[in-house]
Structure 1
Amino acid sequence: MTPAPLTRAAVADMIDHTLLAPQASPADVDALIVEARKLGVYAICLSPSMLPVRAPGLVVATVAGFPSGKHHSLVKGAEARLAVDQGAAEVDMVIDVGAALAGDFNAVLADIITVREATRDRAVLKVIVESAALTDAAIVGACRAAEQAGADFVKTSTGFHPAGGASAHAVRLMAETVGGRLGVKASGGIRTAEDAAAMIAAGATRLGLSKSAAVLDGFPD
């Protein structure tokens, strides 16, 4: 059976409209919220220092341990807890990529559990594995650790790593590993409708985009 073509509205409902640039100002956040409402996206994703914000009708997401992941787990947990206290409904945490590359998935697991326990059931937890920097085996191991720790999503990338962002291969591998039990968020370097469609075809259930308008313009109404 041929899948139905992707529509602009369907794709918009998968988007975390993202502003994580270090130079972002409160005025930039206000503009992001206005644009997000105009585009009809699902959520906005902001740096935790920009919280709290007023964004009725939008899910507010933030990040923890971003972008390196080289923060102590307790610091990530405290950052996530404070963000949730300030209104974040979703937290995208960065794992210790070096631990995953070294095959120390017990450390990855403990890191994620710390953030999961800090947010409890008050927030959706997405785990950024930085897939472009990992081997396939490390991607699988990190995704399994995220599922074991009680995360809700696995996510490809921060968008800040020199190794690159999302790839259809990584999304497919992550989707196969979590088997529909967790969501899969593709993020990093997705700038066109063709990029977004490829990620969705590979198994992405959420998209992290900073160029949401340009991407959505490539889908039919």
Structure 2
Amino acid sequence: MPNQRLRDSLLRNGLDFDHVAKATGVDPKTVERWVTRDRTPYPRHRHAIASLVRETETYLWPDAVAPDTKKEINESEVVQVYAHRHSINQDVWAHLLSQARLNVSVLVYSGMFLTDNPALIRTMRQKAEEGVKIRLLLGDPASREVARRSVEEGIGKGTLAAKVRNALAFFKPLANSGHAEIRCHKTTLYNSIYRFDDEMLVNTHVHGFMAGHAPVLHLRRLSGGDLFETYAESFQGVWDGAKPSKW
């Protein structure tokens, strides 16, 4: 049975068996067996391939890492835990955005606190011009999910929807200029996600509390880990089901 994840990752990056063979120091026939027969490479080869296609070992070979090793890696993916989002220093947000080279992905309902940064639009536009892919997922202000979350936060049924509309207006220039793609979703959010390449802030949602008062996990992606990959796949699932925002 072929390893479809490995095959797709190679195709997406424009790589063939010869490219991988040179990077790993093996025969192209060996690489072919890794793909077409789902043979598992040695650890040193897995590291090289994962780096080559910018994926984790866990994603490419889910059963390759021993449980004890995977537990250690998952624990190491947690850089820091913040009791409240509002306690995160602004320097942390600025650093994560400034070091992004490939993608910035945001999943929120409104994310209005981001608009407190007057330079955010300018910075995001600059990052996009440097080749960074920017994807923003905001809640559909007309959805039942946004209304329900507004009630659960104790701020009134229509308050969060108004915040979403304000956030959409704030980010609209980025979409109009082609510097970002913005979509609206109708999912029930169990957490907000702020991804900057291989680092991520995951803001949990707690019933009865506004997101700013809820805990945040600062994660850094490690090859062989599951934690970062879980939230990355969650973001992609919501993105795939969302629709372009209507202005």
Common topology (TM > 0.5): no
Higher relative contact order (CA 8 A, sep 6+): 2
Structure 1 or 2, whichever has the larger Rg, is: 2
Give the TM-score taking structure 1 as reference length. Answer: 0.35
Give the TM-score taking structure 2 as reference length. Answer: 0.32
Q: Which has the higher helix share?
A: 2
